[in-house]
């Protein structure tokens, strides 16, 4: 008996965009439930939804203006990409908007030249030539280079993922009462970066990060059970106020958000006297405020751009 071999038909489809998101709090890329919309900048009504594949990569299909590229099945398989990269004019300028209907993450938007082969790496446009950005991170880890991942910042109302620590604050500019919408707040413990968060449009921010190693305790027998660990926390903020002031956008641009890392501003601990050190206690959320304010303003954490 002889076997018959049939050549199966091969269908090639080229995805114009693949996005891997990065949860800045949990250091995870497995994030479902996001709404990711892609559209040409000159056609905001031509929105297409990017959907996650089984690996958690959000893939965009049928992007306006890229349909022919998507169904280009010429050989070799790399040819559509080679032609796209050599094309003149260069790849189409598209806008990507990200939101979370579950309220875990703050929205953001950014530009991308499509088609983009492989997982998309967002490059800082203010660096020449554009390069991936480095985020503050744990000194025990390699630098957090944003390669093939898009950062997502926790919403202030996000339920706290266990067993992580959190620092809450509501930011206001000292002297002007302006709200530094979409600014960044970083947490250092014992001089080492632990986490960074983004404020929402009302200046509310939740910086979620892992606890440091507990302080060493003297050896005893039997081992002493403890949960009263405390650490000293220092805060730093990053904000670039517009002059003259403009209304904060409903959705922040990722380039504007991360460009603020180049403009640190001062976090004011106290208005009246040197404030005691900020303390983080194990398994207790920390709320940061500026001491010495009138009772009506006591909940704010003031920042100064001077």
User: Whole-angstrom Cα distance, residue 36 to residue 191?
Assistant: 37
Q: Residue 98: pLDDT band by 50, 70, 90 thresholds?
A: very high
- The residues pairing with 21 across neighbouring beta strands, listed in sequence order, are 150
Size of the chain, expressed as the number of residues it contains: 306
Report pLDDT digits (tens) over 212-256: 887 666 666 666 666 678 999 999 999 988 877 788 999 999 999
Q: pTM score, two decimals?
A: 0.88
Q: What is the dihedral of CA 261, 177, 188, 242, to 10 degrees?
A: 0
Contact 10, 107 (CB under 8 A): no
Using CA atoms, how far residue 62 sits from 47, 48, 66, 179, in Å, is 10, 7, 7, 39
Closest CA to 157 of 107, 193, 204: 204
Using CA atoms, how far residue 263 sits from 35, 82, 125, 198, 276, in Å, is 31, 39, 16, 15, 26
Report pLDDT digits (tens) over 183-201: 999 999 988 889 999 999 9
Q: Residue 104: pLDDT band by 50, 70, 90 thresholds?
A: very high
User: Whole-angstrom Cα distance, residue 241 to residue 239?
Assistant: 6
3-state secondary structure of 258: helix
Q: Residue 79: pLDDT band by 50, 70, 90 thresholds?
A: confident
Whether residue 172 is predicted with pLDDT greater than 80 in this model: the reply is yes
Mind spelling out the 3-state secondary structure of 30-91?
Answer: CCCCCEEEEEECCCCCCCEEEEECCCCCEEECCCCCCHHHHCCCCCCCCHHHHHHHHCCCCC
Name the residue with higher pLDDT: 8 or 228: 228
Structure confidence at residue 281 (pLDDT): 93
Contact 270, 216 (CB under 8 A): no
Structure confidence at residue 102 (pLDDT): 97
Whether residue 298 is predicted with pLDDT greater than 60 in this model: the reply is yes
Contact 108, 9 (CB under 8 A): no
User: Whole-angstrom Cα distance, residue 93 to residue 111?
Assistant: 7
User: Whole-angstrom Cα distance, residue 40 to residue 65?
Assistant: 8
Structure confidence at residue 3 (pLDDT): 63
Closest CA to 182 of 104, 287, 257, 105: 257
* Residue 206, Cβ density class (10 Å: 0-12 exposed, 13-18 middle, ≥19 buried): buried
Q: Residue 57: pLDDT band by 50, 70, 90 thresholds?
A: very high
Distance from chain centroid for Cα 75: 38
Whether residue 91 is predicted with pLDDT greater than 70 in this model: the reply is no
Q: Tell me the average pLDDT of the chain.
A: 87
Structure confidence at residue 251 (pLDDT): 97
Name the residue with higher pLDDT: 71 or 306: 71
DSSP code at position 115: S
Structure confidence at residue 65 (pLDDT): 86
Number of H helices, E strands in the chain: 3, 19
Whether residue 56 is predicted with pLDDT greater than 80 in this model: the reply is yes
The alpha carbon dihedral of 138, 139, 140, 143 has a sign of positive
Give the helix/strand (H/E) hosting 257: helix 254-259
Name the residue with higher pLDDT: 11 or 22: 22
């Amino acid at each position: 008996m002889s076997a018959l071999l049939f050549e199966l038909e091969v269908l090639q489809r080229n995805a114009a965009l693949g996005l891997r998101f990065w949860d800045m709090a949990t250091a995870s890329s497995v994030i479902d439930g996001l709404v990711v919309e892609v559209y040409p900048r000159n056609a905001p009504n031509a929105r297409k939804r990017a959907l996650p594949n089984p690996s958690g990569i959000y893939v965009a299909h049928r992007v306006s203006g890229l349909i022919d590229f998507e169904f280009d099945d010429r050989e070799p398989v790399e040819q559509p990409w080679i032609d796209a990269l050599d094309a003149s004019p260069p790849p189409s300028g598209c806008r990507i908007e990200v939101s979370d209907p579950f309220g875990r993450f703050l929205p953001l938007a950014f530009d991308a030249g499509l088609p983009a082969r492989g997982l998309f790496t967002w490059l800082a446009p203010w660096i020449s030539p554009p390069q991936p950005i480095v985020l503050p991170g744990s000194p025990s880890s390699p630098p957090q280079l944003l390669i093939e991942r898009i950062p997502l910042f926790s919403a202030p109302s996000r339920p706290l993922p266990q067993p992580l620590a959190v620092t809450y604050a509501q930011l206001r500019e000292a002297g002007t009462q302006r709200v530094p919408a979409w600014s960044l707040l970083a947490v250092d413990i014992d001089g080492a970066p632990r986490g960074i968060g983004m404020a929402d449009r009302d200046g509310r921010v939740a910086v979620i990060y892992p606890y440091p190693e507990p302080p060493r305790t003297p050896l005893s027998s039997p081992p002493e059970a403890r949960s009263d660990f405390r650490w000293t926390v220092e805060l730093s903020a990053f904000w670039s106020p517009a002059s003259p002031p403009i209304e904060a956008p409903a959705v922040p641009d990722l380039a504007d958000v991360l460009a603020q890392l180049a403009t640190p501003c001062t976090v004011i601990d106290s208005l009246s006297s040197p404030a005691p050190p900020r303390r983080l206690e194990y398994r207790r959320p920390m709320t940061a405020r500026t001491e010495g304010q009138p009772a009506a303003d006591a909940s704010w954490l003031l920042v100064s751009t001077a």
